[in-house]
Amino acid sequence: MRALALVILLSALALSATILTRADQASIDAALPVLQKYIPDVKIIPADPTQWRTLISRGEVDFLWAGAPVLYEALLKEGYLSPMPDVPELGQVPDKIGNIQLKRVGPDGKTYYVVYALLGYVIGYSPESLRRAGVAPVCTWRDLASLNLTKYYLQTGSKPLAIAKPTKSTSTAAMMQLVTEIYGWEEGWRYLAAMAAMARFVDSSGAVRDAVKRGEALFGPMVDYYVFLAGLDYCIPTDGTDVLFDPIAVPRGANTTVAAILTRVFLTEMEKRLVDRYLLPGNPAVLDSPDVNQTKAALLKQHLQKLMSSKIMYVPPERSASYYYSFIYYYEATLVDLQDVLTDVWARLVDAYFSGKITARQFEELWRRLGAPVNFTDPETGKTTAFTFQTAVEMNGKVGSDPVYRDKVYKAWREAARAKYESVAQELQRYIQENAAKPQESSTPPATSQDYTSLIVAALLVALVAISLVLLRRR
């Protein structure tokens, strides 16, 4: 390692580096002094995933660090990535762990991004907050949309979930996509709508962790290392989870010397520093290194075993990327922007069901309508189009690359969703009124079993009185 450091240091004396990242500020603060040992003039820029194309296109970015693979897959498909430098450390990373590919090899046989860290999708919570609220742990994605959590909101006025906006968090985008992968497109959006209605939306996945830690929310979908850092407990969703690859890559136009240095540093010293942050290194062999914190390494080994024995979906990054932009902007237009309307309708719907004002059949029907993907007017063709999975895939590239089109279709989605929510609210009110009027429609309502019992008892009493009178007259 000393020889590596000397070679890198001599090469880096006159170099500067700009790194684009999705890492949180705490990770950036921990990484900066390590990186400055090798390239003193290094700048780390945290940016929303929607800004990466523009920043790369300016030709001033040398390295990409962290974020969901779906983002890197989209960048690869659109030609924003260069092959990784051919350094010895890259060859030391295994090709896969279990069924998880650690290197993304392109059609030309070259590696375009490599997994630097592994993160599992979990549901984090504070046992103390749950104890105070009298709520049991939630261990499936579907249960994050459960009526019990809405009942908690109706009783307390406090929203039980914290969710990062998918346009701001690639890990949250991947988790929300996972719900549609597990339950299918239609059913998945039904659960996503119910979750969104009961959520505090925040601007980063780190803010989800903080909201749960402070007790502002009971549950939050998050990556695993956040629960360890915050001292939270967690469930690995039993209906399915996935493993987030925290990649590193080289953008087109990067300084190749800087890119080579950073690749070597990230795959050696930086990977060892992951353990201090409770992050699983992309190369699990690092956990056995004498240079890492053994207590934390033991915890991570145990967690890795638990994660690998769970129900992992292994959704290919290229599949997630195929509808990524359509998904995140549709989610924001219909669920985030209109959350006040959505929450109001959903809360009234659940309250009407709990209070017996509507039937179970009526509730299920309205819930499906509330969450169903909208029919919208495509601004390019003028035709009414259903937001199916296939539609999301077909329009993904244009939504991601054409801001003018994106703004127009975003507005179309939002207005179609607003009309849908208002329609469900009107239908709910109609059902409530019809059900309330039903007992008054007939002057002789059907008798209950209790009514029949009362009549029988009365008849017996009358018969006994009559018999008694007859016997008295005979005397």
- What are the start-end ranges of the E strands in 79-140? 81-82, 96-97, 100-101, 103-105, 111-125
Whether residue 455 has pLDDT greater than 50? no
**Burial grade of 448 (CB within 10 A; 0-12, 13-18, 19 or more):** exposed
Taking CA atoms, 300 is separated from 65, 116, 236, 287, in Å, by: 21, 15, 14, 8
Q: What is the pLDDT of residue 407?
A: 97
Rounded to an integer, the average pLDDT of 302-318 is: 88
Whether residue 451 has pLDDT greater than 50? no
Rounded to an integer, the average pLDDT of 73-102 is: 88
69 falls in which pLDDT band (50, 70, 90)?
A: confident
3-class DSSP assignment, residue 247: strand
For 156-180, the pLDDT digits (tens) are: 999 999 999 999 998 899 999 999 9
Sign of CA dihedral 225, 171, 252, 27: negative
For 182-195, the pLDDT digits (tens) are: 999 999 999 999 99
Identify the H or E element spanning 84. none
Q: What is the pLDDT of residue 454?
A: 43
For 7-57, the pLDDT digits (tens) are: 555 454 568 999 999 888 888 998 999 999 999 999 999 998 889 999 999
Average pLDDT for the chain: 88
For 225-249, the pLDDT digits (tens) are: 999 999 999 999 999 998 877 899 9
135: which DSSP letter?
-
User: What domains appear along the chain, each with residue ranges and CATH number?
Assistant: 16-118+245-307 (3.40.190.10), 337-437 (no CATH)
For 125-135, the pLDDT digits (tens) are: 999 999 999 99
The neighbour count for residue 445, using CB atoms within 10 Å, is 11
Q: Are 136 and 123 in contact (CB under 8 A)?
A: no
